[in-house]
Amino acid sequence: MHLHVPFGDLKRQHDTIRAELDAAVTRVIDSGWYILGPEVCAFEEAFAAFCAARYCIGVANGTEALQLALTALGVGPGDEVITVANASVYQAITIMAVGARPVFVDVDERSHTMDPAALAAAITPRTRAIMPVHLYGRMADMDAIMAVADRYGIPVIEDCAQAHGATWRGKPAGSIGALGCFSFYPTKNLGALGDGGAITTNDETLAEKVRRLRQYGWERKYYTRDAGGLNSRLDELQAAILTVKLRHLPAWNARRRTIAGMYNDLLADTGLMLPEAPPEGDHVFHLYVIRTAERDAVQTHLREQGIGTDIHYPLPTHRQPVYAPFAPPGGLPTTERLAQEILSLPMFPELTDDEVRAVATAVRRATRGREG
């Protein structure tokens, strides 16, 4: 008999805090206030503090957070935004939504995040923003990225959708660039019971503009000040739920790091390339992603053993038909190679030690004779 291990199981998490969630939901229902009320204000204040940012603005989802950030910076037609192609299509969607052109650069072999040298080489007079992605729970090299950005006076939008609580030299994700954009999709380290997002910033002018843009660009009700506004509001119910979960996030992130450490120890001699925490920062392991040239065979073996896996992400953005016109000449060799080799193993705080060992045992069996 083998042990079935799901890729994720949100019910386990919610069962452990069900009483707190029920109380929060009841409080919102009883209040009679459901949009942009005290729950959103309370969460924004708490999450800003968590991110060491002066301001937090709750929005409807992480994708619109990126779009609103671009709009707040004045990015539009004729502009270029530099980003990566190995984090699915969300960045490209938002860049094109404001009329700008995505410019894809390659990533670092070990961190899977934006290669600062490739970034520097891609700067042109039309570059209006830089959008690095803190992927899998590990922050991009913000020292090098900010050095390039500051040299040219270009603002940085941090995509923090997978990095709630991650740090770089002691600075949390969302506190370094001009704006930080978060998703609270249910599977994130901090997830709502539905969609949700937020933007963090230390710039008061940008914060005020984003607050207007998330609600049609209104300066006050029915009076529009800014073009490019959306109906993108974090609702009271999700804000109340997120406030409950935020209290548990440090412990959940700590458990993710423990699980990653177990995987690393148990798989150390397999020849697989394993994720590692950077010396400059704190990895929160939103995903635990291994690399193997025999990815498909390993995934098939794990599936047969009842172990859930996924690939984040199987087809780089610049190789998808919609975005192919923006593919750089010569492609993105590292990005394309990684897409053929990456495999995400089960990673969520409620995984038991026995389940982690079962996954590792199955991976070892799958790679025996294939690696090294």
- For residues 95 and 317, give the distance between their C-alpha atoms in angstroms, rounded to a whole number: 13
Instruction: Please compute, for residue 22, the number of CA atoms within 13 A of its CA located in the half-sphere on the CB side.
Output: 5
Are the beta carbons of 215 and 58 closer than 8 angstroms? no
83 three-state secondary structure: strand
Helices (H) and strands (E) counted in the chain, each on its own, are 12, 14
DSSP summary character for residue 186: T
Query: Regarding beta strands 101-105 and 342-345, do their DSSP bridges make them parallel or antiparallel, or are they unpaired?
Result: unpaired
Nearest to 335 by CA among 113, 143, 135: 113
Full pLDDT tens readout for the chain, 372 residues: 467 999 999 999 999 999 999 999 999 999 999 999 999 999 999 999 999 999 999 999 999 999 999 999 999 999 999 999 999 999 999 999 999 999 999 999 999 999 999 999 999 999 999 999 999 999 999 999 999 999 999 999 999 999 999 999 999 999 999 999 999 999 999 999 999 999 999 999 999 999 999 999 999 999 999 999 999 999 999 999 999 999 999 999 999 999 999 999 999 999 999 998 899 999 999 999 999 999 999 999 999 999 999 999 999 999 999 999 999 999 999 999 999 999 999 999 999 999 999 999 999 999 984 444
- 228: tokens are 């490019």
For the chain, give every domain's residue range. Answer: 10-242, 249-367
Residue 53 burial (10 A CB sphere; 0-12, 13-18, 19+): buried
Nearest to 89 by CA among 336, 340, 312: 312
Q: Where are the alpha helices (DSSP H) in 165-235?
A: 204-213
Number of Cβ within a 10 Å radius of residue 237 = 20
- Tokens 């998490």 belong to 13
H/E run at residue 364: helix 353-367
- Tokens 């452990």 belong to 16
Buried b (16+ CB within 10 A) or exposed e, 132-146: bbbbbbbbbbbebbb
CATH superfamily of 249-367: Aspartate Aminotransferase, domain 1 (3.90.1150.10)
Are the beta carbons of 102 and 81 closer than 8 angstroms? yes
Residue 46: partners with Cβ closer than 8 Å, 6 or more residues away: 243, 246
Class of domain 10-242: alpha beta
Are the beta carbons of 122 and 97 closer than 8 angstroms? no
- 71: tokens are 């709009």
- Tokens 């963090």 belong to 200
